């Protein structure tokens, strides 16, 4: 998996967290298996981009980072 693919997965997870969402909804919206999702969520929490514990929500920093990712990866 290339760097761009990883960034697109992170973008999709952040998008899913834009509204207060539970892990299963994030998994479905971002098209990431639940077993792969938890480490991503943990990394995003540690980076200060999301907060919560099922449900999750974007932080202000997460919103800014999502905007950058959408410019880099596109918004599709």
Residue found under tokens 């540690």: 46
pLDDT digits 0-9 by tens, 26-74: 999 999 999 999 999 999 999 999 999 999 999 999 999 999 999 988 7
pLDDT class for 1, splitting at 50, 70, 90? Answer: low
**In sequence order, what DSSP letters do the residues of 9-66 get, joined into one string?**
HHHHHHHHTTS-B-HHHHHHHHT--HHHHHHHHHHHHHTTSEEESSSEEE-HHHHHHH
How much is the pTM? 0.89
* Packing angle, helices 34-46 and 23-30, rounded to 10: 100
């Amino acid at each position: 998996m290339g760097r761009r693919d990883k960034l697109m997965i992170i973008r999709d997870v952040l998008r899913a967290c834009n509204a207060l969402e539970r892990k299963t909804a994030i998994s479905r919206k971002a098209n990431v298996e639940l077993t792969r999702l938890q480490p991503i969520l943990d990394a995003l929490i540690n980076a200060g981009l999301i907060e919560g514990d099922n449900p999750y929500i974007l932080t202000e920093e997460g919103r800014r980072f999502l905007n950058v990712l959408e410019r880099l990866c596109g918004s599709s």
